[in-house]
Amino acid sequence: MKNYKLIDTHCHLDIIEEQGLSIPESIQKAKEAGLEKMVQIGINYETSVLAKDLSHQYAKEDVYYTIGCHPVYDIQEDESNKILGMIEKNVDDPRLVGVGEIGLDYYHKKSSPKSQMETFHKFLDISVTHKLPVIIHSRDAEEDTFQALSEYKGKAFGVIHCFTYNQEYAHKFMELGYYISFSGIVSFKNATDIHKAASSLPLESVLIETDSPFLTPPPFRGKRNDPSNLKYILERMFSLRDETNIEVENKIFENSIKFIQRKAYYTC
C-alpha cells in the first residue's frame, strides 16, 4: 500500500489514549502509515501542558503542539489567564505551532456567546502580539466567527480547523488569510457543502487533519480515529480536486509545513 507524504495538523493523542490506544502506539501506527509530523492540540491548561510535554518527549518523531482555550469547556478567567501566561512563556519554543483551539461554539451552549467572544478576543490579541497562528474552532457560529476574525484582518492568521460550513464561508475565511482544514467529514457521502468547499478553494489554502479520535473517515467510520487514517482524507481530496493526485499531495504537504512554521498560506 502506498504511503503518501502526510502531516496531521490536528490530533488529540491523549483522548485517543483514553479510548484505548496508547500514545506510543498511536505514534508508531502513524509513522508506519507514512506520517512525517503531527500536531498535538491543547484545549485547556492541563492539556496544553501535556501537549508541550509530548512534543518534547517525542521530538524525534516530529510531534508538535499548540496551547489552547476551547470554547466548549467554559474555562474560567483564572485558568484562561494561566493559558495566556503559558503562551507568553513558550513563544520561542520551536515545537509550539500556535494558539488553539480557540473560537466560538454555539452548539453545546456551555457558556454565553458574550463570554466566549471576550475570551476569543483575548487569545486573538496575544496571537497578534507574538505573530502566532490561531487554530479556530467554530460550530454553529459562522457569522460571529467571521465578524470577529474580520476585526483582525491583516494581523491574525491561522486555520479554520475541521471546517463544517459552506462554500461561501470557506472563501470568506480564506480571503481573511486562513487555511481551511478538512477532517474526515469531507469523506462522508452526504457532506455536499463541504465537498463543494474542498473542491473550489485555492489549493494553497487547504490543509487536512484527522481531529482524532473524532470524525473517523470511511472505511472505518464509527470506530475510534487516529492519525494513521489521514491517508483516507487525502484520497478523498484527490477525487474532489482537478489537479493531479501528486500535485494535491505535494501542495497539501507543503501547506502543512508552512503552517507548522507559523506561516500564513499567502506568505512565502
Residue 131 confidence (pLDDT): 97
176 contacts 149 by C-beta, under 8 angstroms: yes
Phi, psi of 127 (to 5 degrees): -65, -40
In a 3-state reduction of DSSP, which class is residue 169? helix
Q: What is the pLDDT along the chain (268 residues), one digit of tens a residue?
A: 678 999 999 999 999 999 999 999 999 999 999 999 999 999 999 999 999 999 999 999 999 999 999 999 889 999 999 999 999 999 999 999 999 999 999 999 888 999 999 999 999 999 999 999 999 999 999 999 999 999 999 999 999 999 999 999 999 999 999 999 999 999 999 999 999 999 999 999 999 999 999 999 999 999 999 999 999 999 999 999 999 999 999 999 999 999 999 999 875 3
CA distance 186 to 194: 6
All structural domains of the chain, each given as residue ranges with its CATH number in brackets, are 6-260 (3.20.20.140)
Closest among 6, 11, 94, 88 to 47, alpha carbons compared: 11
Q: Residue 38: which of 53, 21, 26 has the closest Cα?
A: 26
pLDDT at 265: 81
